[in-house]
Amino acid sequence: MVRIIAGLLFYALYAVLFMQPAAAAEKDAPLAAELALAALKDELISYFEPVSGSVTGMTDNSLKIDKGTKSRVKPGMRFFVYKEGVKFVHPVTKEALGRMEMPVGNIEIVSAGENSSEGTIVQGKREDFEKAKIKIPAKKVKLLFYQGKVDWYLGDAYYQLLKDSGRFELLDTGLETEDMSKLAAEARERGAEILLALDSTESAGLVKLTQKFFWAGDAKQFGGNATSINSGHVKELRFKSGLYAEQEGAVLLSIELSSRSRHMALGDVDGDGIQDLLLSSGDEIEVYRYGLDLKLLWTLKAAPRSEILWIDTIDSGKGPRSKILVTAMSEGLITSYVYEFDPSKPAQVKGGVAGGLVLLAKIKGMFLRGYEGSILGQEFDKNSGYDGDVFKIVFKDGAYKKGEKFKLPPAVNIYDFQFIRAIGGEKGVLAWDEEGHLNLYNEAGVSVWRSKEDYGGFSLSYKKETPTIMVDKGMWAIKDRLLNNYGEILAPFRTPLVGMAKGLGYRKSAIKSLLWNGLTVEERTLVDKIGGELYDYVFIDNRLVVLSKSLFGVNMANVLKGRSPLGVTINIYPMKGM
């Protein structure tokens, strides 16, 4: 269904993205995206150009045919070989309609001259090939399309281009494997003649897209090529697709939790190579194995008698295990904690697994955040909330200590920002301000864009302390998480129940996606109509996992079902095709 919808969008996307003036194409990319994908398509089609001829000679297991490069014959092609049988005629008019075709087998071309070529027998008996006919018929070729880990929108643009060529009948595969023999086996089972496998790498602002072709019958590779596409074109393709797509997005899975979970994080806590889902509730953190349901592995009183404000994970430096960073508030003061998994501990939860979480550090008066493998810190002040610059935290002499300053624009605090890169490569910072607007800063730290409307405010806000109640210094807030999705920045958007009265709760929420095109920031809605207030969200395996609370914290659907109406909901949305 996703491919069908994408097909309807393809023509609009093609016009928006690819039909640009030649000068613009030369400026934006070394090879225009439409020509790059067309080059891949033409290479594949070249192996299936309709051609017919005859076998002219035989030597051992090889044979010679009367067609060569003049007829666009090339090594790797496979021909259907047959002999002509009796004529068949129209039963009424007696007009000759052709001859019956008696299949002999298949041959593969190994070398091609100008007017003749040599091939080997792939299927059939040698003696049957004498004076036989050969052809590649002008029928659709059944193809199994394996996109692998290639950007979904880039892969789908190529998928639609092949489909629109009229030369192929395409089949999708749900397999996630790099084993071509397994993919070829599925192709055979589904009646496909060939397997097309895509792969991509990105370097120096270019996406190198590689395709390989395999015959399904014996999993033999017979061709392939690669092309380079400007990363900006790929980024814009992904973003523009969302402008034409249905934005509500089907929920793959919905999980109701009776807890008051408020924050989420993702990390390989025990180092088994599988990402675990972390949820915080009050002063506790629960670690779950993510799947068709959530399996509780460990629970931890991470910030005793406190309210957890933020959780993150970073690589621990001891193999793949992730450290857990926790920032919490108790009696108006901030304390942060660093935890790590210890496999020697006994299982903490019935039905859970052995091991547990141990405290590595407790840091008073400091906010912590994980960012790109580093721990960031910023000091707390009860009169202003955030105090001073953001800096890196380093582990030195057996303790976590304040390190070098982390470069950010003025007045941007630890939870406010996410780095962003424009389609043309310029670097910048996208950051919240205190009024709930998003701001773009260039490399010089100068604000060059601000969102027209605020995004609905923040869930956790606190009054700045003053020496007298007669003075109101305003609020400070824990800002919402900004996630980087292949160059787009995702941000929560909340709609209050009544006008701008955020204190009455939120009627619905959404997740917006922002793309810097080099001149301004384009905004689109990625996921819409999330009921109630969105708390937090993470990525898992091309899925967006969203934690939200119903309006007033009451799920009326559960009331009608006789279940507990309190708690939160986790909804999982597919990122591919959104």
pLDDT recorded at residue 348: 63
**Helix axes 2-17 and 231-244, enclosed angle (nearest 10):** 120
Query: In the chain, where does the domain assigned CATH 3.40.50 lie?
Result: 2-47+140-244
Q: Summarize pLDDT for 546-557 with one digit per residue, the tens.
A: 999 876 444 444
Closest CA to 434 of 473, 468, 475: 475
Q: Summarize pLDDT for 355-368 with one digit per residue, the tens.
A: 778 899 999 999 99
Three-class DSSP category at 132? coil
Q: Are residues 456 and 494 in contact, defined by beta-carbon separation less than 8 angstroms?
A: yes
**Bigger pLDDT: 95 vs 116:** 116
Query: In the chain, where does the domain assigned CATH 2.40.10.410 lie?
Result: 51-136
pLDDT-derived band of residue 224, with 50, 70 and 90 as boundaries? very high
Query: In the chain, where does the domain assigned CATH 2.120.10 lie?
Result: 253-574
Strand order in the sheet with 263-267: 263-267, 276-281, 284-290, 294-301
253-574 folds as: Neuraminidase (2.120.10)
135: tokens are: 């052809």
Number of neighbouring beta carbons within 10 Å of residue 212: 17
Q: What are the residues whose beta carbons fall under 8 Å from the beta carbon of 173, sequence distance 6 or more?
A: 144, 145, 146, 183, 186
Closest CA to 545 of 373, 352, 242, 291: 291
pLDDT-derived band of residue 26, with 50, 70 and 90 as boundaries? very low
pLDDT recorded at residue 49: 92
pLDDT recorded at residue 341: 86
CATH for the stretch 2-47+140-244: 3.40.50
pLDDT recorded at residue 231: 82
pLDDT recorded at residue 69: 95
CA distances (Å), 87 to each of 35, 48, 94, 151, 572, in order?
46, 27, 11, 52, 61
Q: State how far the Cα of 189 lies from the Cα of 540, in Å rounded to an integer.
A: 31
**Bigger pLDDT: 154 vs 47:** 47
51-136 folds as: Thrombin, subunit H (2.40.10)
Q: State how far the Cα of 211 lies from the Cα of 226, in Å rounded to an integer.
A: 6
**Helix axes 152-164 and 33-45, enclosed angle (nearest 10):** 50
DSSP class per residue in 7-27: HHHHHHHHHHHT---HHHHHH
Provide the mean pLDDT of the chain.
83
Answer whether residue 538 shows pLDDT above 90: yes
Q: Summarize pLDDT for 245-285 with one digit per residue, the tens.
A: 333 456 878 888 866 789 999 999 888 888 899 999 878 89
490: tokens are: 């995702």
Answer whether residue 24 shows pLDDT above 90: no
- Average pLDDT over every residue of 216-224: 94
Q: State how far the Cα of 386 lies from the Cα of 498, in Å rounded to an integer.
A: 31
412: tokens are: 């941007």
CA distances (Å), 81 to each of 109, 120, 128, 133, in order?
12, 12, 9, 6
- Average pLDDT over every residue of 531-543: 87
pLDDT recorded at residue 352: 60
